[in-house]
Amino acid sequence: MIPYGKQTISWSDAFKVLWQVKFKSLTQGKKIAEYEAQVARYVGAKYAVAVSSATAGLHLAVLALELPEESEIATSPISFVASSNCILYAGKKPFFVDIEETSINLSTIQLQNRINQNTNLRAVIPVHFSGLTCDMESIFRICSPKGIKIIEDAAHALGSRYKNGSKVGSCQFSDITVFSTHPVKSITTGEGGVITTNQEDIYLKLLRLRSHGINKLHDRMKSNLNAFTNGKLNLWYYEMNSLGFNYRLTEIQSVLGLSQLARIDKFLKCREKIARYYDEQFFGNDLVTPAQKFDRSISANHIYPVRINFRILSINRNELMTQLRNLGIITQVHYIPIPMHPYYSDLGYECSDLFQSMNYYNECLTLPIFPKLNRRKQKFVVNEFLKILNNSRKAQ
């Protein structure tokens, strides 16, 4: 079977993890801090905080902004549900802004219109879909004068760059950025995420929130009577200063992350090469077209979505996916628009004003892309995919 995405684990990765498991600490040790420092250095941010998942990272990011109680937060409907669930976790209200047709990213024109109409909008979570960066300069220019905070959902985008060349995660145009290190992402820690920021106050909040509201390294003790004996800090003592969570990453995962991060540029080059080959094979085809046709060199190319002209085909998407699966080719749909999910529709959300999002959803399919996908297998994917489409073309 050829999956739509897959991790790339080397023997070196495995041996480093085994060494850590056998001879070193398993959690809350030095490797976590080392991993965080390397990620921060790689993306060009001052601070990084490793967490158990990107979903956890998004949750903490919203909490760290300490927004007013009635705040609304805008995000994209074309994303995994975590992009808006994190808003609900924090007791705020999600607000969905339609996408651009060409990038599948949040539309800056629609965002500007929504900001003009909505006085409760306090933050925006733009999603770098498939690793192609949003127009962050425009988003920053729109949001900054109004004091609207920005959290970049960069779950797909570790290694991506903005058009000016700086890396996503540098927080040049945002308050906080959140990455995923799930197995199919640019690098993996099994499950996991990383938050980056340049603001020390946010960084300290994130550390506290990540670990039950406790930060023994940075927080001053509030109860000196209990904290000290004869002027010396009691060795057992710690204080919970806020309501936090257990969103920590382990030492084992951090060791894997460090090993993977050393090869990220190689992974990114492989992904770009695969994406460019698909682009070439589908160029000028009236049945299928790449969903994103530009900026391959600065995208992480996390997934490869295409748009299919089902109007001139006698086959529907489920039938197409089934035929491909029978050939050993696994495809996926990224994503069901978030307001379509029953939980959100029960809250009153709908897709009536999300024209581009619904058009994309009705046409999209994700083809396999991962660093170990060789040219022979990719040719097989392309040939079989196009064969099915061509055989299903309606008679004119």
| pLDDT tens per residue, range 17-40 | 999 999 999 998 999 999 999 999
Q: Where are the CATH 3.40.640.10 domain residues in the chain?
A: 11-261
pLDDT of residue 394: 87
Nearest to 278, CA basis, from 8, 4, 80: 4
**Residue 24, C-beta contacts closer than 8 angstroms, at least 6 positions apart:** 31, 251
pLDDT of residue 142: 96
- Residue at 317: amino acid letter: R
DSSP state at residue 127:
B
Q: Where are the CATH 3.90.1150.10 domain residues in the chain?
A: 264-391
pLDDT of residue 316: 98
pLDDT below 50 — which residues of the chain? none
Distances (CA, A) of 325 to 2, 8, 322, 336: 9, 22, 5, 20
Q: Which CATH architecture has domain 264-391?
A: Alpha-Beta Complex (3.90)
Query: What span, in angstroms and rounded, lies between the C-alpha atoms of 245 and 219?
Result: 17
pLDDT of residue 118: 74
State if pTM tops 0.85: yes
Q: What is the domain class of 11-261 according to CATH? A: alpha beta
pLDDT of residue 395: 77
